[in-house]
Amino acid sequence: MKFYKFISYVLHPVLIPIISTLLYFIIIPNHIPKEFAYQILSIIFVTTYIVPILLLYFLKKVKLIESYHLSSIDERKFPILFFALLSLLLGKLLLKANTINLLALSFFGITLASSIVYILFFAKIKTSLHTLGIGGLIGFIGIISYQYQLNLLLLLIFLFLLFGFIATSRLKLKAHSMNEIFIGFFIGFFTQIIVYISYTF
């Protein structure tokens, strides 16, 4: 059980944006100055990791959530909406740079995914944010592979294996049902594709 908890923490959805950004700068053809890349990484780290953690700490302090796991739909509503807004603002900021448009689109994908998750709350459908995160990352890496004509098959296979570990962990911890696992994955994956196609075609 400790192993499954470890997987859930190490591959927590709040870490996916910074992982995506790191992989983006590692994979793409080297045309971006390192100083600029470091600035972008710092902004994304603060915006998508530090700020959400501070938000959850505040919500727990004022007793609007019972735990950081956000087990119930009601507890998830505001954090998801807040993260959707953060992702939208971040995407707009990155798009202004005009050199990292693909990375900007990935955050618009996160915005769309978070919005869908929020809408599903009203149908009493809870989605696995862990598998949504890894699904989005797989979609994003697939887009990078297509955009730059790079063979990233080994990386994609590795990410699919991680998806398997994450899905198994969430099921073993009884955090989600099988349906919630796959709904999360498909929302994360296809929102990246939809945003990319909408922007480029």
* Ramachandran angles phi, psi of 125, nearest 5°: -105, 120
pLDDT of residue 46: 95
Average pLDDT over residues 142-159: 96
pLDDT band at 68 (very low <50, low <70, confident <90, very high): confident
Over residues 20-40, the mean pLDDT reads 90
Q: Under 8 Å CB-to-CB from 132, ≥6 apart: which residues? A: 13, 113, 117, 184, 185, 187, 188
Among 32, 5, 47, CA closest to 97: 32
More confident residue, 32 or 79: 79
Over residues 69-102, the pLDDT tens digits come to: 787 888 899 999 999 999 999 999 999 988 889 9
Q: What local confidence, expressed as pLDDT, does residue 85 receive? A: 96
Length of the chain: 201
Q: Which of residues 54 and 201 earns the better pLDDT score?
A: 54
Closest CA to 186 of 144, 134, 115: 134
* Distance of alpha carbon 9 from alpha carbon 39, whole angstroms: 26
Which residue's entry shows tokens 């971040």? 90
Position 5 confidence tier, pLDDT thresholds 50, 70, 90: confident
Average pLDDT of the chain, as a whole number: 92
Confidence grade of residue 155 (pLDDT, cut at 50, 70, 90):
very high
What contacts 174, CB < 8 A, 6 or more positions away? Answer: none
Contacts of 40 by beta carbon, 8 Å cutoff, 6+ apart: 21, 25, 94, 97, 100, 103
pLDDT score of 116 more than 80: yes
CA 76 to chain centroid: 15
Whole-number pLDDT of residue 65 = 84
DSSP labels for the chain?
Answer: -HHHHHHHHHT-GGGHHHHHHHHHHHHS-S-S-HHHHHHHHHHHHIIIIIHHHHHHHHHHHTTS-S-TT--SHHHHHHHHHHHHHHHHHHHHHHHHHSS-HHHHHHHHHHHHHHHHHHHHHTTT----HHHHHHHHHHHHHHHHHHHHT---HHHHHHHHHHHHHHHHHHHHTTSS-HHHHHHHHHHHHHHHHHHHHHHH-
Taking the model in full, what pTM does it have? 0.93
39-62: pLDDT as tens digits: 999 999 999 999 999 998 888 888
